[in-house]
Structure 1
């Protein structure tokens, strides 16, 4: 409050920290009105500051809660994966052993019964894998393993998985591939997984005597796709039941099925199409659908294509998994190697032991990590099969301690475990394992892995 009325004096007052400026002589009513206004503004400012501070704290707490929930979800999925895979490993191991007559001769009816059990167990395993894959993608834990693959081989490999199902329903399979198709740089397993999911759905929803076509289009010209890239399209066309327009938008939502009534005709979890969409989008691609009730559906996968300079002969020739694993072993080297099996699940011990005995391996069994270390030092096995989740001492620590013994430093160790989340393989290998096999594992594959490591 001052008698100075020039602009410089007013500005100096504000610069020094004043909120207002009243010149003398002043009016009482004006001063009171200004005081009231500034008190109200001060009160509102403090209230707003308090609300902002509370919001910041609330957002911080929400972020921390979300992070904890995500960690808890990942841990839950890892635990559930282990708990579900462990009994499945026993079921599949014993049925495989029965079919190979490891436990004695069986008749034709018993063989068919074993095949039904095995088929059902693999169906359960596929559901578990779908759930885990969707969870991994949502949490950013999935990494693509890019390689250069032939489009023709990709299509043929995918069709192999559904040909038998299609034949049972009398469904005709057609494949339309243009000549001179380029190679793609993709995660072969994941794109094959997406194609198999779409083809399996096509078989499921196509009546007997129908037709399914796998068609490849290249190059693809599509206005809604980025013009700077070239795309290749996989199209799966069926003469199935079709989908109503109002249901199409719900198709790619997880755990949602269009035919979701209690009396629905088709089994499944509703995760297949969700997984297809996420895997394709990870590759920078797009999934689309067109359908008409009673006529059929067409699902398309559009993947970006980039020029590949690697010569075809160097990348096209690949060994099959069995060729990669099958070593040239002289029989006298594997007369009776000693295998140490560290496993606490009795059913798994029975199935693996019976199979390995039938393959003429000698076997010693440890039921926890401490026993595994003691038997490794006393028995000097040729190879160790190490479960990871065991009582008293887990398999990772057991592997580390075994590797500290100079005489056991080079003994092959296979981590045979139901742990199948992101990073589990790396942790096993860092601990000192030579190989990682996730349960349930086919006993033939286990046998091949053992042969490879013992050469």
Structure 2
């Protein structure tokens, strides 16, 4: 074993560095080295016998011995001239052929026992050079020329008779034994090479089988992930539908209880409303996570006035922070200006961080700081709460993950907020970073590029100032319309004194429970609702009633909201009536592209209706003023 290890080191030392990278070439060079080390040793008995058997050995035996031992200098030449391996290997084969033919010519001619060595020429040549066409022609040519020369001498000349043929028995035995030993040695080494290559091939096959199994597992995991995302989206839709009724009716009952002074019911109704909003927030988070994982989350990038955004966030967050007797401070950098971002998703990420800070901080300080750092915006939420250990920080931004089970039991939560916020920031080209020390508080930093790479096809000319709101949204489309639409919108202010003079709103939805809730909400807000669960009749009703605005559900069987919207916009009588799409899913871009003026997210309430109409009236008022000044 030690000898084989030493031999392997010797071979590796002789192998040229530029040839060691190719496995097959390295094996050929190693065979070249082995044959040149042991070949002269195996053939030594032949010139020794001839020296003593030949009465006059000079110079034929000396030349034969020089040719045999001339293989050793090739080892040094390969080491000295590594780039010349191929010509050196060809020269070695020529030397072998000369050695065999020289011994054959001087000792026995065509009956020489040394002719058996000629079988080694193609074997060694192909081992050294590979089976290229150059090697084939080279080997075949020299063998044909050598045999032809011997046969020519046999026909037209005489072979020297240094030793009678009958006295060459010992030479024949030595020649046969030496050639067989040589072939055995090379065959054994070649067999080990083949075995190693077979093992390598088997290993490659095993890796390929493993790769195929991993590929199948990956495909199955992707299919399962898609199925999970579809399931979550469907379940979110199914959950939001009853939540719409829970939140809507609880709001109506709460207002009635407050007006009638039924204080014993107010607390219960507030708990119902709060629980419904909490469940809705979880449903929204799960749906957003599933959309991100499915690659279907769409950014709505616009100009965001950072001062206005911070005002909105502060107004909404201050009561939330005060629940646990915390103080709230806002630090603003100079010249915040505007940035390009999805305002809804940015606000959502900030609210999630503030909500976490308020949850885990009692009788402490929470600070929201905003500053511009070159081309980046930094929005940080710092608290003096319980803090997070380094071990807990590692999995903090993964889905359904919280610091530990005890914290989850004490403080509640699903563990989706931070993961969702991190994913939203990454979609906008940024990230959330964390600095925290256990027992001393935490600092979460949102870093976003001031100019997003995900600009919409038609960016808004100016930022929209949106009032503080919950996770559901009302999206307004700042699009110019004819003056007739502006006149219609001027009637949008409710006139509760006379029902006939109230602004009429057309609501189209296939869910009768939703229509009943919407009717009560609109009446309470001072509008005259016209409700229908037959989308096919929406166009005719709109032509006849000429409503101030139309609220149109997207998901309806058969003739869905997109079909109704297309029919409304194609009719010259109804084309200028503002249309708001009602949806559980956020499909703002598609709605705006189809000609809608905005999208109102379910669950539905009167404040969203007023916000939608007020926002649309304001944007069209600016458009009208701009047209008049232009």
TM-score interval, normalised by the smaller of the two chains: 0.7 to 0.9
- The residue that corresponds to 1:328 in the other structure is 490
Unaligned runs of 5+ in 2: 1-117, 144-175, 453-459, 469-473, 478-485, 621-630
Contact 2:382 2:442 in 1 (8 A): yes
Partner SS, residue 328 of structure 2? strand
- The residue that corresponds to 1:269 in the other structure is 414
Partner SS, residue 410 of structure 2? coil
- The residue that corresponds to 1:349 in the other structure is 515
- The residue that corresponds to 1:298 in the other structure is 443
Residues 1:201 and 2:356 are matched in the alignment: yes
Q: Larger C-alpha radius of gyration, 1 or 2?
A: 2
- The residue that corresponds to 2:95 in the other structure is none
- Alpha-carbon distance between aligned partners in 2 of 1:206 and 1:452, rounded to the nearest angstrom: 36
- Alpha-carbon distance between aligned partners in 2 of 1:270 and 1:50, rounded to the nearest angstrom: 43
The alignment's C-alpha RMSD in Å is: 4.6
Tell me the CA shift for residue 439 of structure 1. Answer: 1.2
- The residue that corresponds to 2:535 in the other structure is 372
Contact 2:285 2:420 in 1 (8 A): yes
Contact 1:285 1:304 in 2 (8 A): no
Contact 2:552 2:582 in 1 (8 A): yes
Tell me the CA shift for residue 83 of structure 1. Answer: 0.9
Cα pair distance change 1:15/1:444, threshold 3 Å: same
- The residue that corresponds to 2:430 in the other structure is 284
Contact 2:539 2:564 in 1 (8 A): no
Partner SS, residue 219 of structure 2? helix
Q: Comparing 272-281 with 178-187, which one deviates more in the overlay?
A: 178-187
Residues 1:97 and 2:252 are matched in the alignment: yes
- The residue that corresponds to 1:190 in the other structure is 345
Tell me the CA shift for residue 396 of structure 1. Answer: 4.3
- TM normalised by structure 2 equals 0.56
Partner SS, residue 162 of structure 1? helix
1:165 to 310, 320, 338: 320
Q: For 1:46-445, list aligned pairs within 5 A.
A: 47=202, 50-51=205-206, 54-55=209-210, 57-99=212-254, 101=256, 106-109=260-263, 110-181=265-336, 183-208=338-363, 210-216=364-370, 219=373, 231-261=376-406, 264-281=409-426, 282-293=428-439, 295-304=440-449, 318-320=464-466, 327-329=489-491, 335=501, 341-358=507-524, 359-366=526-533, 371-374=534-537, 376-377=539-540, 380=543, 382=546, 384-391=550-557, 394-396=560-562, 413-420=579-586, 424-427=587-590, 435-445=598-608
Tell me the CA shift for residue 86 of structure 1. Answer: 1.0
Contact 1:373 1:401 in 2 (8 A): no
Report 1 or 2 for greater relative contact order, CA contacts < 8 Å, sequence distance ≥ 6.
1
Instruction: String of CA shifts for 1:114-153, please: whole Å, max 9, x gaps.
Output: 4333233222222222222333333433344444444443
How many residues are paired up?
A: 428
Contact 2:367 2:382 in 1 (8 A): yes
- TM normalised by structure 1 equals 0.74
Contact 1:174 1:213 in 2 (8 A): yes
Contact 2:491 2:503 in 1 (8 A): no
Contact 1:288 1:301 in 2 (8 A): no
Tell me the CA shift for residue 437 of structure 1. Answer: 2.2
Cα pair distance change 1:140/1:352, threshold 3 Å: same
Contact 2:317 2:354 in 1 (8 A): yes
Tell me the CA shift for residue 360 of structure 1. Answer: 4.2
